[in-house]
Structure 1
Amino acid sequence: MALARVFALALCVMLAAVGAQAQDVPQPDYTEWELRARADEVKLDLGTASINELESIRARMVDWRARFLAAEATNQTRISTVKAQIDALGAPPAEGEEEPADIAARRSDLNNQLAELRAPVIRAEEAYTRADGIIGEIDQIIRDRQADALLELGPSPVNPANWPAAFEAVTTSLRASGQEIAANVSSATYQAEARRNLPLILLLTAIGGMLLARGKHWAQMGVEMLRGRARRGAGVFRFLVSLGQILLPYIGIYALIEAISATGFSGTRLDFLLGQLQLWAALLFGTRWLADQTFHEVADRATVQLDDNARWESRRLANGLAWLYVARAVIEAFGELDNYSDATVAVVEFPLLLLTALVLFRLGRVISDETNAKVPEGEERSVFRARMMRVLGRIGMVTAVAGTVMAAVGYLRFGEFSIYPVVATLALAAVVMVLQRFIFDLNDLISDRMKTDNEGLLPVLAAFALSMAALPFLALIWGAREADLLEVWTRFREGFVFGDTRISPTDFLVVAIVFAIGYMLTRLLQGALKATVLPKTKIDKGGQTAITSGVGYLGIFTAAIVAITAGGLDLSSLAIVAGALSVGIGFGLQTVVSNFVSGIILLIERPISEGDWIEVNGTHGIVKDISVRSTRIETFDKFEMIVPNADLIAGTVSNYTRGNMLGRIIVPVGVAYGSDTRKVEKILMNIVRNHGEVLMNPAPQVEFVNFGADSLDFEIRAVLIDINKGMAVRTEIRHQVVEAFTEESIEIPFAQRDIWVRNAEAFGRGSFGTPGAARPTEVPPAQSVPGDGVDNDDADGDGGDGGDGSR
């Protein structure tokens, strides 16, 4: 009780804090906002702002919009209270009707209060809409400018008139860099600093050179140590150790950069290039590792399954693309330092673009060729990866050709946008596939350690989440701005408006948590009822199951209502949705609703229960489970039959074990004519009375039921303690009857017929009398041979169709 009180007190404090926070929302400075908005709108109207200026304006607008969104929560608690008070007064009177003066005055006062409380909210909503409109206008302007720049016709790189200027610009850049380094090296000040740092320089140089020369080899040695392990999960350790192929050489590059910086000989230009060198080195080493993981020389360790030659060529081409990508980055760095002209940029970058297109085309051809695929049978994930790479390969081939042609004409930006994003997309797809394979290998390792089945939903969901996480990077590759992604995230956090309520992801999280708690409490209550409470009552098993199921459905429904309310969704807003759904329920979902209602009736009325032996539409079986839509029945042939609940309610169902397990069996017995019927009756009665499963009250009976065509017919009728054993009891009784009749020489007849042939001499004159003609040799019992002179006569001459017991 004390714990409950503490929890209740904490909950009250939280609610009070939330309410106070809603009341004390800081209000934006609308005067400043008005001046800033007007100034920015003027800049947008002039159309002279640069991209950087537009991004700066947009960042300010995003900040203002966030303030206005927070201000929309002003007075929410008071507004809800006043609305409830107005609703308590009832609906306003219709036109022409009068309302009592005191109620009318109170309604007017509350409406005035509501308008006053909503004034800051309305102002914040108006300002939010204005800021959002400015942001949308800026995004549209930037996108239009990007599209114009992409389709802008520039200098052609194949025009020889542009080559001398480009050559001169590149030569000037290299000469300037060399002169800067030479000047620093000849400086006495820099030389003195280099001598002071000589031990550190030598140490960093040794470390960097050693890691560059041997780092990859050491990482490969670590991988090979794990290669021979056949146990599940070895791929996880190989993956982690293989990361050393990136880390160790990168540390070596970093050590060399620090050694060069320690000499003091690097100037402004070299410092800028050294800063970019870290990124270039990471790109090269990462691509080399990625190519090795994707197209590994060992077939079973490759992410994309190709034959040996295709994997080797793909790995070589992927490394070539990485070097070309870095070379383009170096050219762009020099262009940024020395401000290259458009013609120089086109001439210098076009050879790299052409080589990239050639390598991309060749790589796309290799991975898209189905004859190179070597996918193990039964590995669906490998099949999917192969298909994905084939699609990307074909796209790469098309864009390589189109981009090169467009760049040669003069649309260099379009050519770059066509080719380089495809290269980056291939790399991103390879990263995703490699990480997905790592996830499945990790799941195999965990499953092996825990001795469980390795097939599960969790690794599939993790792989899917990884694919979703790659989408923002894919958008950035294809020209999306960071601001665009932030805008999507902002919209997601803001949620959406449903009626008068704004639903945010936080509300969804609250709904999920509250529903999960309610669901767990419901399951705990069901378990307590099923295991502790209900077994101590006199309620039968079917009734216990019905109560447990009813508590479950009621608990889940209550948890859903509480969760929706806790999330801030006004249930009255669902009235229109419920009205629309009722139409669909009436037409398209009538069968589902009928089965649902029938399931509720079955659980309440309980004409059948779990474990009952029933017959439905001529099929016998045991009821295994009753749900709200259908009932699961296990037949005696050991297959499951799913019966809609509506069929059980509307149709005829035979329940053989309803209320008790008693049931009657009937065993027919036939004896030959001439047998002592009194003796037969006595034998049969002794057999049935001595059986352990037969009840003596009501007493079993032996009935002489009929003079049959071939036998004297008796029936053994007995009530069993458990009708489920009826088949076994019948079998045992039949065995005992045969044994007893054999001892007493009582015959159990079977149908027989004698064939009498009239005018046998007629066969000599017929077709059978011809030489060589086949003659009938034997007629099976109980059959007659039609034809001239053949008659199916009875054997005993009584005018019947064959007397009882005739030979």
Structure 2
Amino acid sequence: MIRFLTALCLGVFLSVSGPMGGPAAFAQTTLQSTPDYAAWERVATRAEAALESGKASDAAFGVLRQDIVNWRTQFQAQLSANDSRIKTLNEQIAALGPAPEEGSSEAAEIGARRSELQRQLEVLTTPRRTAEEAFSRANGLVSEIDKIIRARQSDELLRKGPVPLDPSLWNNALRDLRVSLTGLWDGVTSAFSNPTARANAQNNLPLIMILFVAATVLLLRSRTWSEQFAVRIQARETQASAGFTGFVVSLGQILFPILGIFALMQALDATGFYGPRGDMLISSLPIVGVIIFSSRWLGSRIFPKAQEVETPMGLGPKRRWEGRVYAMLLGIILALRFLLERLSDFDRHSLETTAVLDFPLIALAGIILFRIGQLLHKSDPSKSTLSAEGSYRSQVVPLLSKASMIIGLGAPVLAIIGYSGAALALIYPAILSLALCGAITQINEAVRDLFAFFSPSVNPSEALLPTLINFFLLVLTLPVFALIWGARLTDLTELWSRFRNGVSIGDTTISPGSFITLIVVFMIGYFLTRAVQGTMKNNLLPKTKLDPGAQVAMVSGLGYVGIFLAALIAITSAGIDLSSLAIVAGALSVGIGFGLQNIVSNFVSGIILLIERPISEGDWIEVGGQMGYVRDISVRSTRIETFDRTDVIVPNADLVSGTVTNYTRGNTIGRLIVPVGVAYGNDTRRIEEILREIASAHPMVLANPAPAVVFSGFGADSLDFEIRVILRDVNWMLSVKSEMNHQIAERFATEGIEIPFAQRDIWLRNPEALKDDGA
């Protein structure tokens, strides 16, 4: 427990201070100086001797490992020293041309210059080769030390120790515990019997009383006040910020009692009535307080008392009360285990005493963990707030339930048969993991509530931003889970060091720094491209004489060029050498050419459409039996909106290689034909005159060329005419045709002109068959 809490605090510190005070800063300070290889040789020799004997303690190996890691950081910094100068020398040598073959000669001046450059290059690369060899040696030593420590950890877990149920061990264990508690009391009485200590306490009595009163209020009442205030806030369903505000206020259930513990520590310190063991216990109070009050806070959040507050588990009132009690008991067990471990280390209890004293806590923790697993199993997903956030988390609850019940039964059994180390490695990490899962759930809910406050019109469960934030927070907790389950802090720092070094692909190393540089530079270029596109589209191009289609083509082309340049600049800024990937790209291009030939064809066709512009956005076209307006032209396809208000996605290759009818290419002028039929016997000259008057009077019809009326022929039922006009905007074709038909019907009715309808004579071949025989 102590090792875990210490490692956790150190991990948080290193994660915060790593960019400034970690290995990177150490590397920068040693970059300008050459490592002392003689001193390194002594350290490496001592490490190899310790590894060969294998008798050093874990603490000694840890100190030795840290020393080697510091040396390795110096060597790593030396590997990248003088990179720019070496690159310049290589370019200078390449500029002199290839070296002459054996038996041939070159100009004396060129040869002398080549030798001088080679000598300078050798001087600069020799330290790098030396550092590379030392770096490999240090890396190997670190790996061997980690291997030995991990093997010892595995042996410790699998080693069988004393059986805690052996009655012969109980007397010694109780005696050791009594000695520790007696020593604690003796320290208090010894300090109290000291006149100087009593005098100091009397002098500090007003301060002690004030601190004791403050500590009492904060410890006994502040948690209840914070809980009640948070419940009242969360019960306000009309406020979008109620959930997040309630979460922040509820943290007072941890903060204020911890302040009370610090006040209590100051009051006890002012009395001076404690001995060495008392000093040890007083210094442990903050961690004990964090454990107990955090568990109570988490229990009140996961299993809330108020019925109006939603619960992540979807449980009834009785089950919630059980959950709160179990959470508080687990916190007390963890605190007692922490105090017992510190007391055992202080008094150096034997392995038998530790096993006996640990067993009651393990057994009680196992029972409670099993009961919590049963509670999780009884949760109702339909009433849980987890289902609203994501079903995947609702699926995790049954897994946690089964794991809790299995560990709750298995850990006490392992302790009974003597495997106390394995039991401790199971039961307490399981409890801490459950607590961490609960904390993650609460943080996710708070992020969701905060997003709902700033974006009330968007459902948080369907939004991308809170999901990404919660995923990022989940990734950040993975090192904490690793520390809980036995990973050492050095394992995480080693993994982080390798991650920072990056992955080598050929002569190119892709590190997190280069990757971040790539993303940042590309995003800057992307946003600049969009800004220039917006300026041209809204401010510059509308003031030119270019048609809208040409303006869209220029803006789209600028976007493609800008994104390409942004990607190229980003790759160059990240230090990625594309020439080293040329062979791989060449091999992949063959497969891509066969597998993606249709996509490439559509891409090239899209470029052709943007350059030649046979169609533009807003054009009325017909292609492949589909008719509509062009709404968007992309590099792969074109979107056409039909008159039914449906979108048709047409591959660009069909527009380039197929037949396309463009009704509005270049202008919107187009012809309209309106067919008209009249009954036989009407004056055809009068009909022609009426139709010409109607066509000429319409405002959408152009006067030049003038409208024409054609007597197209003698139909089966009517005399057929056609009105042929040129419209100034062909997009109004249907409206103009409908309006002309209305006017034709009105004029024909006024003039008494009949619009015929089809008439047919029916001849019956056998009419006698229709007669009724019985008539």
Q: TM-score, normalised to structure 1's length?
A: 0.87
Q: Secondary structure at the match of 2:383?
A: coil
Question: In the alignment, which residue of structure 2 is the partner of 1:78?
Answer: 85
- Take 1:33 and 1:39, find their aligned partners in 2: how far apart are those partners? 10
Question: In the alignment, which residue of structure 1 is the partner of 2:410?
Answer: 402
259, 266, 271: which one pairs with 1:263? Answer: 271
Question: In the alignment, which residue of structure 1 is the partner of 2:635?
Answer: 628
Question: In the alignment, which residue of structure 1 is the partner of 2:421?
Answer: 413
Q: State the one-letter code of the partner of 1:269.
A: R
Q: Which whole-Å deviations, capped at 9, do the CAs of 1:113-163 have from their partners, x for residues lacking one? A: 323321111111111111111111111111111111111111122233322
Of residues 348-357 and 301-310 in structure 1, the stretch that sits farther from structure 2 once superposed is: 301-310
343, 348, 359: which one pairs with 1:350? Answer: 359
Q: Secondary structure at the match of 1:176?
A: helix
Question: In the alignment, which residue of structure 2 is the partner of 1:323?
Answer: 332
Of residues 563-572 and 319-328 in structure 1, the stretch that sits farther from structure 2 once superposed is: 563-572
For residue 747 of structure 1, report the CA deviation from its aligned partner.
2.2
Say whether residues 1:243 and 2:251 are aligned partners: yes
8 Å Cα contact 2:313/2:376 also seen in 1? no
CA 1:679–1:58: 2 relative to 1, 3 Å: same
Of residues 334-343 and 618-627 in structure 1, the stretch that sits farther from structure 2 once superposed is: 334-343
Q: Secondary structure at the match of 2:35?
A: coil
Question: In the alignment, which residue of structure 2 is the partner of 1:569?
Answer: 576
Question: In the alignment, which residue of structure 1 is the partner of 2:301?
Answer: 293
- Take 1:643 and 1:584, find their aligned partners in 2: how far apart are those partners? 25
Question: In the alignment, which residue of structure 1 is the partner of 2:484?
Answer: 477
417, 433, 454: which one pairs with 1:446? Answer: 454
Of residues 637-646 and 365-374 in structure 1, the stretch that sits farther from structure 2 once superposed is: 365-374
- Take 2:346 and 2:538, find their aligned partners in 1: how far apart are those partners? 78
- Take 1:73 and 1:134, find their aligned partners in 2: how far apart are those partners? 22
For residue 343 of structure 1, report the CA deviation from its aligned partner.
1.9
- Take 1:60 and 1:739, find their aligned partners in 2: how far apart are those partners? 104
For residue 190 of structure 1, report the CA deviation from its aligned partner.
2.6
Say whether residues 1:551 and 2:587 are aligned partners: no
Question: In the alignment, which residue of structure 1 is the partner of 2:3?
Answer: none
Question: In the alignment, which residue of structure 2 is the partner of 1:792?
Answer: none
Question: In the alignment, which residue of structure 2 is the partner of 1:390?
Answer: 398
- Take 1:23 and 1:721, find their aligned partners in 2: how far apart are those partners? 79
Question: In the alignment, which residue of structure 2 is the partner of 1:14?
Answer: none
- Take 2:189 and 2:774, find their aligned partners in 1: how far apart are those partners? 130
Q: State the one-letter code of the partner of 2:171.
A: P
CA 1:563–1:657: 2 relative to 1, 3 Å: same
Say whether residues 1:435 and 2:443 are aligned partners: yes
8 Å Cα contact 1:23/1:77 also seen in 2? no
Of residues 384-393 and 614-623 in structure 1, the stretch that sits farther from structure 2 once superposed is: 384-393
Question: In the alignment, which residue of structure 1 is the partner of 2:68?
Answer: 61
8 Å Cα contact 2:230/2:250 also seen in 1? yes
Q: Which whole-Å deviations, capped at 9, do the CAs of 1:189-210 have from their partners, x for residues lacking one? A: 3322322222222221111112
1:611-760 map, 5 Å:
611-760=618-767
CA 1:346–1:453: 2 relative to 1, 3 Å: closer
Q: Which whole-Å deviations, capped at 9, do the CAs of 1:561-609 have from their partners, x for residues lacking one? A: 2222222222322312321331232122222222211111111111111
372, 388, 400: which one pairs with 1:380? Answer: 388
Q: Secondary structure at the match of 2:319?
A: helix
Of residues 270-279 and 695-704 in structure 1, the stretch that sits farther from structure 2 once superposed is: 695-704
- Take 1:232 and 1:770, find their aligned partners in 2: how far apart are those partners? 88
CA 1:515–1:206: 2 relative to 1, 3 Å: same
CA 1:696–1:347: 2 relative to 1, 3 Å: same
Q: State the one-letter code of the partner of 2:331.
A: A
For residue 357 of structure 1, report the CA deviation from its aligned partner.
1.0
- Take 2:773 and 2:302, find their aligned partners in 1: how far apart are those partners? 89
Of residues 338-347 and 657-666 in structure 1, the stretch that sits farther from structure 2 once superposed is: 338-347
182, 185, 198: which one pairs with 1:178? Answer: 185
Say whether residues 1:280 and 2:294 are aligned partners: no
Question: In the alignment, which residue of structure 1 is the partner of 2:17?
Answer: none
Say whether residues 1:367 and 2:376 are aligned partners: yes
- Take 2:198 and 2:379, find their aligned partners in 1: how far apart are those partners? 61
For residue 407 of structure 1, report the CA deviation from its aligned partner.
1.9
- Take 1:532 and 1:758, find their aligned partners in 2: how far apart are those partners? 80
1:185-264 map, 5 Å:
185-223=192-230, 226-227=233-234, 229=236, 230-264=238-272
The total of aligned residue pairs comes to: 745
CA 1:228–1:321: 2 relative to 1, 3 Å: closer
Q: TM-score, normalised to structure 2's length?
A: 0.91
Q: Secondary structure at the match of 1:232?
A: coil
Q: Secondary structure at the match of 2:218?
A: helix
Q: State the one-letter code of the partner of 1:349.
A: D
Question: In the alignment, which residue of structure 2 is the partner of 1:776?
Answer: none
- Take 1:667 and 1:635, find their aligned partners in 2: how far apart are those partners? 23
110, 118, 121: which one pairs with 1:114? Answer: 121
120, 144, 149: which one pairs with 2:151? Answer: 144
CA 1:551–1:54: 2 relative to 1, 3 Å: same
1:752-771 map, 5 Å:
752-764=759-771, 769=773
For residue 95 of structure 1, report the CA deviation from its aligned partner.
9.0
8 Å Cα contact 1:304/1:382 also seen in 2? no
Q: State the one-letter code of the partner of 2:395.
A: R
8 Å Cα contact 2:310/2:384 also seen in 1? no
Of residues 579-588 and 292-301 in structure 1, the stretch that sits farther from structure 2 once superposed is: 292-301
Q: Secondary structure at the match of 2:221?
A: helix
- Take 1:382 and 1:111, find their aligned partners in 2: how far apart are those partners? 63
- Take 1:431 and 1:87, find their aligned partners in 2: how far apart are those partners? 60
Q: State the one-letter code of the partner of 1:721.
A: R
Of residues 304-313 and 755-764 in structure 1, the stretch that sits farther from structure 2 once superposed is: 755-764
Q: State the one-letter code of the partner of 2:488.
A: R
For residue 104 of structure 1, report the CA deviation from its aligned partner.
5.8
Q: Which whole-Å deviations, capped at 9, do the CAs of 1:692-715 have from their partners, x for residues lacking one? A: 111122222222223223322222
For residue 473 of structure 1, report the CA deviation from its aligned partner.
0.7
Q: Secondary structure at the match of 1:301?
A: coil
Question: In the alignment, which residue of structure 2 is the partner of 1:779?
Answer: none
8 Å Cα contact 1:689/1:700 also seen in 2? yes
- Take 1:94 and 1:608, find their aligned partners in 2: how far apart are those partners? 61
Q: Which whole-Å deviations, capped at 9, do the CAs of 1:428-475 have from their partners, x for residues lacking one? A: 111111111112222222335xx8887753333222221111111111
RMSD between superposed Cα atoms in Å: 2.5
Q: State the one-letter code of the partner of 1:318.
A: A
- Take 2:303 and 2:723, find their aligned partners in 1: how far apart are those partners? 79
- Take 1:754 and 1:622, find their aligned partners in 2: how far apart are those partners? 47
For residue 80 of structure 1, report the CA deviation from its aligned partner.
0.7
- Take 2:382 and 2:337, find their aligned partners in 1: how far apart are those partners? 32
Q: List runs of 5+ in structure 1 lacking aligned partners.
A: 1-20, 772-807
1:506-521 map, 5 Å:
506-521=513-528
Q: State the one-letter code of the partner of 2:394.
A: A
Q: Which whole-Å deviations, capped at 9, do the CAs of 1:613-651 have from their partners, x for residues lacking one? A: 111211111111211122122221112222221221122
Of residues 507-516 and 31-40 in structure 1, the stretch that sits farther from structure 2 once superposed is: 507-516
For residue 107 of structure 1, report the CA deviation from its aligned partner.
4.4
Q: State the one-letter code of the partner of 1:331.
A: L
Say whether residues 1:133 and 2:140 are aligned partners: yes
Q: Which whole-Å deviations, capped at 9, do the CAs of 1:83-104 have from their partners, x for residues lacking one? A: 1123323456789988777656
- Take 2:530 and 2:767, find their aligned partners in 1: how far apart are those partners? 87
Q: State the one-letter code of the partner of 2:88.
A: T
- Take 1:22 and 1:393, find their aligned partners in 2: how far apart are those partners? 51
8 Å Cα contact 2:717/2:756 also seen in 1? yes
CA 1:69–1:635: 2 relative to 1, 3 Å: same
